Amino acid sequence: MTIPDTADIIIIGGGVMGASSAYHLASKGCHNVLLLEKEDFFGLGATGRCAGGVRYQFGTEVNVRLSLLSLPMLERFKDEIEQEIDYRKMGYLFLLTNPVDVNTFRKNVNMQNRLGVNTQWLNGDDIRKWLPMMRLEDVLAGSFNPRDGLVDPNSVVMGYIGAAQRLGVKALTSVPVTGIQVHSGKIIGVETREKVISSPVVVDATGPWSGQTSQMAGINVPVTPIRRQWVTTSAIPQLPPDFPFVIDFAQSLYFHPEGPGLLTGMSNPHEIPGFDQNIDQEWELFHLEAAIKRLPLLERVGLASHLAGLYEVTPDAHPIFGKTPVAGYYLVTGFSGHGFMHGPIAGKLMAEIVLEGSATTMDISMLDLARFNEGRLIQEYNVV
Ligand SMILES: Cc1cc2nc3c(=O)[nH]c(=O)nc-3n(C[C@H](O)[C@H](O)[C@H](O)COP(=O)(O)OP(=O)(O)OC[C@H]3O[C@@H](n4cnc5c(N)ncnc54)[C@H](O)[C@@H]3O)c2cc1C
């Protein structure tokens, strides 16, 4: 497909945020939308490397509310977008091993229940009885929501891209944006290797790269790329069919069923920010030792694959939505490692902001870029 000379709206980035924004803009009647992705395929950034987890269990109301809108959109995905996305509800089980986490999660579960999310509180013995194959002597309590689960990230991206294209969106791969043109404080277009494309509106959906991208427009966006990685195992026939998505919260160590085996990951709290997406072998060894301690049967299974990707981390672990000091330049970024699940609603809210001036489906005004300069940070506790 040839690169057009102009577009009403240019979206930079073909991960879940760009794909969902493109679809929602087009479904609101804005068809002259151009999506540009630097890689040769869509969804090769954070989205294609993510663990696919979707959950209601968060520590702030705004994140729970985003889940309350976004997860039902994933449930309706096949009917609306005509794409199967393999939504598996096995529930997330947070394991809590220290009194501070127990107190905080207790409050968070009350808040979730108040908002209509049916998260359950379990004591240590309930959990030990449920998962006798795990070593859980130190577990004090846990929280479980049976509606949390897993969804296939690539299907969601390709579903949105296909649906957007059917509505007239031009979505191009192998077109890195190399510059952003601003005149008198307003967006006038973007530069690519081949040509300049004029447009009054740019949506920056470049996730871990959005700090770099927005610099091209002269805007400081506090998104830090931080590597995270996981491994998958060969088949584990001993796993019970009701094995949930287990998160050992204090260690940031998680396990979830993946095919006939498990996927397990662990966040390195000392990871140095950067764009390296190679596996850190030393950390992988440390992670596997911790995983075997929790689930000893892992000692006897093989590794099937491993992958590293980048979290897009903001100072308060909440996303950044909306307008910037440059007129026509919008952000949908900074989901801090849990953005895949919020991709559906994020694209819808972005379409409202761009076309109607503000988000109408829910109030996300507190998630603006200006909060970092104005000291309005909102901390999320449930970061994995
Ligand atoms: C290991 C790992 C596990 C995760 N697990 C989960 C999970 O279980 N659940 C969950 O909800 N989230 C999870 N996440 C987080 C989730 O993946 C991200 O929050 C989400 O995918 C961000 O989507 P995005 O569209 O903003 O970014 P991306 O998917 O990275 O998309 C940005 C795109 O922009 C493109 N781009 C960048 N610069 C340019 C340019 N100059 N020109 C053109 N294109 C450009 C990139 O190539 C990329 O495709 C995980 C992330 C990682 C790394």
pLDDT greater than 80 at residue 359: yes
pTM for this one? 0.97
Residue-level length of the chain: 384
Name the band, by pLDDT with cuts 50, 70 and 90, for residue 153.
very high
- In ligand 1, the atom with minimum distance to the C-alpha of 333 is 26
Strands 329-333 and 202-204, sheet pairing: parallel
52 lines ligand 1 (CB under 6 A): yes
Strands 253-258 and 186-192, sheet pairing: unpaired
Lookup: tokens for 18? 């760009």
- In ligand 1, the atom with minimum distance to the C-alpha of 311 is 53
Candidates 50, 64, 85: which one to mutate for ligand 1, based on the most atoms within 8 Å of Cβ?
Answer: 50
347 lines ligand 1 (CB under 6 A): no
For residue 343, how far is its CA from the centre of ligand 1 (angstroms)?
10
Buried b (16+ CB within 10 A) or exposed e, 11-24: bbbbbbbbbbbbbb
pLDDT greater than 90 at residue 380: no
Comparing CA positions, the residue from 261, 241, 249 lying closest to residue 294 is 249
Q: Note whether 235 and 48 are within 8 A (CB).
A: no
pLDDT at 245: 98
Candidates 16, 24, 47: which one to mutate for ligand 1, based on the most atoms within 8 Å of Cβ?
Answer: 47
Name the band, by pLDDT with cuts 50, 70 and 90, for residue 136.
very high
For residue 300, how far is its CA from the centre of ligand 1 (angstroms)?
33
- In ligand 1, the atom with minimum distance to the C-alpha of 53 is 8
Lookup: tokens for 342? 């919020």
Lookup: tokens for 296? 């000893």
For residue 369, how far is its CA from the centre of ligand 1 (angstroms)?
19
pLDDT at 383: 72
Comparing CA positions, the residue from 175, 202, 157, 171 lying closest to residue 38 is 175
Average pLDDT (205-211) is 98
The H or E element spanning position 166 is helix 153-166
* Angle ∠(231,234,237) on CA atoms, nearest 5: 125
Q: What is the mean pLDDT of the chain?
A: 97
For the chain, helix (H) and strand (E) counts, in that order, are 11, 19
Average pLDDT (108-122) is 98
- In ligand 1, the atom with minimum distance to the C-alpha of 39 is 47
pLDDT at 384: 77
338 lines ligand 1 (CB under 6 A): yes
148 lines ligand 1 (CB under 6 A): no
Q: Note whether 283 and 130 are within 8 A (CB).
A: no
For residue 47, how far is its CA from the centre of ligand 1 (angstroms)?
4
pLDDT at 194: 96
pLDDT greater than 90 at residue 379: no
Of all protein residues, the one whose alpha carbon is nearest to atom 41 of ligand 1 is 177
Q: Note whether 130 and 95 are within 8 A (CB).
A: no
For residue 21, how far is its CA from the centre of ligand 1 (angstroms)?
14
- Dist CA 182 CA 217 (whole Å): 7
- Dist CA 211 CA 217 (whole Å): 10
pLDDT greater than 80 at residue 381: no
256 lines ligand 1 (CB under 6 A): no
Query: What are the φ and ψ backbone dihedral angles of 275, each rounded to 5 degrees?
Result: -100, 10
How many other β-carbons are positioned within 10 Å of the β-carbon of residue 25?
29
Name the band, by pLDDT with cuts 50, 70 and 90, for residue 341.
very high
Q: Note whether 199 and 190 are within 8 A (CB).
A: yes
- In ligand 1, the atom with minimum distance to the C-alpha of 13 is 34
Comparing CA positions, the residue from 340, 338, 339, 319 lying closest to residue 384 is 338
pLDDT at 257: 95
Count CA within 13 A, CB hemisphere, residue 292: 12
pLDDT over 70 percentage in the chain: 100
